[in-house]
Chains A and B, each alone.
Chain A
Amino acid sequence: MFRAKVIIKRRPSILDPQGKAVEKGALHLGLTNIRNTRIGKYIEFDVLSENREEAEKEVNEYCNKLLANPIMEDYEFTLEEVK
């Protein structure tokens, strides 16, 4: 079995109004050095497979078809074997 940890980020060309709004909060906190706040998603799950290659294939399909929308998001992931 593998533990997958996926990070989904908005593509750099896509505006992130949420990140901008949150960054305003940072200013109000007095944190004046914060820039370029971008908000993404972190998703983790198990893949019931003994074969790393097969697990990777499945994670890619999950990400491409459902977890991320390739028009506006990029994803990256790690796979850790769980004994």
Chain B
Amino acid sequence: MPSIVKPSATHPSLQRNALGMTIRDYEGSMSTLCAGCGHDSVTAAIVRALWEISAKPHMIAKMSGIGCSSKTPAYFVNGAHGFNSAHGRMPPIATGANAANRELTYIGISGDGDSLSIGLGHLCHAIRRNVRMTYIIENNGVYGLTKGQFSASADVGSKSKRGEANRMAPIDPVELGLSIGATFLARSFSGDKEQLVPILKAAIAHRGFALVDVISPCVTFNDHAGSTKSYLHTRQHQIKATETDFVPAATEVLAHIEQEGVTSVTMHDGSVVRFTATPKGYDPTDRRAVVTYLHERESEGEIVTGLLYLDETVGDVHEMNQTPETALARVPYEKLCPGAAELDRMQAEFR
């Protein structure tokens, strides 16, 4: 644990976002995770993403369960709401919170243990319900908090710190999501913020359940030779299926993107974004093609990253259930609970 809190001193060129806030305003308490933990980099990416989109801290809800990963909500946006649930129970709690107040931005942080072992069932149903939230799995393949046993995401053949190899098949959250109707699936690496930050911004903007699987090496128990979730292994085997960037919704700009080469598009604020067509043979909206592609690449031992699958045709949990536009939390109590007399009247209808 660091000896001091992060000094209040800042760089003289520190910039402010649309809310007049600096990136430092989106920070939280000092991390007590191991030095070099990938999770701290994910935290830094979240801080940057939230600052860049000028998120209002009081409109953010940080949700988590149990584990190293689940400690991290304490390390960003001190001014946000938060709920630290029982192990694996963050998805239903987040679902409930979202049902009650659809106006907040939900950021769930979980790990491979919390999401793929004890909480797997809950995760599946949150995906199916398309609860609007960003769900980050800080995936390191081990139970770091209990000294590095293999988790449910450890690859077959990956070696533990003591040398024995894992034999059980891993659960891949992206493939799982594809099979149960997920609408936003991405994978990234804690050591690659240039990719992770835009993915997080897109996930926050997504109108549904956005699952971001982040390879986040456990520097203490799973960063050795033979591990398939180490910094070095991930760097050597990462391939980017898509180059991802996020442009916030604004007035429509129409452009024709050439199939070959780079197309420069001038945005409404004068900046220029350069587009290339997605790689041939990869269409992130074609579920069957994505499944095939992932299987192919993963059989080669490659780690496919980027925004991998997107479906914007499915409504979120509120649309499916036809809830009112107004957040239930803001509906007057008398309206939410019409009283015993009204209940009696309703029940009488069924007699």
Do these two chains interact?
no
Binding site for A on B (CB under 8 A): none
